Structure 1
């Protein structure tokens, strides 16, 4: 009768070692944004709500109507029928490569007139754009000029005068093609 070798001890130890290493890998992958520093998984960019900047808040004054406030700040993200005199402007953004942001602005009304605005420190438009711009999205080298110099403006061709609309309305436009009659002749 052949003898059986009991290999359960070494197999069990190997299985436990493998499970421990997998558990370690799983916790490593969850705690970092990249796998082994090379591969970064895709994360969906989530943007919700209204971006409200310093410039917009500076335009909002107590005593304005609801329509005026909506024209400046946009439609509120949250309106509640139980709190009809309160509009909540909530903004959240989660973008890979930047810090997540969340801001809450509350507009309180007395009837149809704005009573007050409760807002944390909000960024200006330039500060907001800078806060959501990733370093890899920035242009390398010198950024392009956004305005023409006076010499560049002088070098531009003069604008072409717009055609007279009354004369162009009298002239038919489009291709000139003969079409067959719609009804058959008897």
Structure 2
């Protein structure tokens, strides 16, 4: 008879995600995970399979949450310029508050980009951001907020690339003036 799992798998995934986010994939050992999750190795392997599988699960959870937050910010803020500025400013503030943490997707790209499951997730996350931005920009263009000569998809790709760059620059601790100057320039792309 199988034992009943004595921990919440979603909460455990969130705790593991936080540990991976703070320390990085390579610097997080199985022992670190067992301690953080307060479980034994048998329970760990039964629930998650491996460290890599748990990392991918945590990354998927992060990507889903971030994508939902992006969609909400773009949908709930009137005016595309205000919405985009709000999204970008929130990322800048998060990086200024905790530059070592950064973005889990960017961290994964730089730390695990050569591992196919992780690289696939990074690609998915970037495409998700592009898609959300493209949709918001198309709706804004239909409302007359953006010139009909602009390509929503090209703007979305630029902003997606800018977002990833902002996250890297935040980790490099370039400071508020640097990132706000870059944000002002990026916003002009919508003009």
TM range (shorter): under 0.3
The structure carrying a bigger strand percent of its residues is: 1
Greater Rg by CA: 1
Using structure 1 for the length normalisation, give the TM-score.
Answer: 0.21
By relative contact order (CA 8 Å, sep 6+), the higher-ranking structure is: 2
Using structure 2 for the length normalisation, give the TM-score.
Answer: 0.21
The structure carrying a bigger helix percent of its residues is: 2
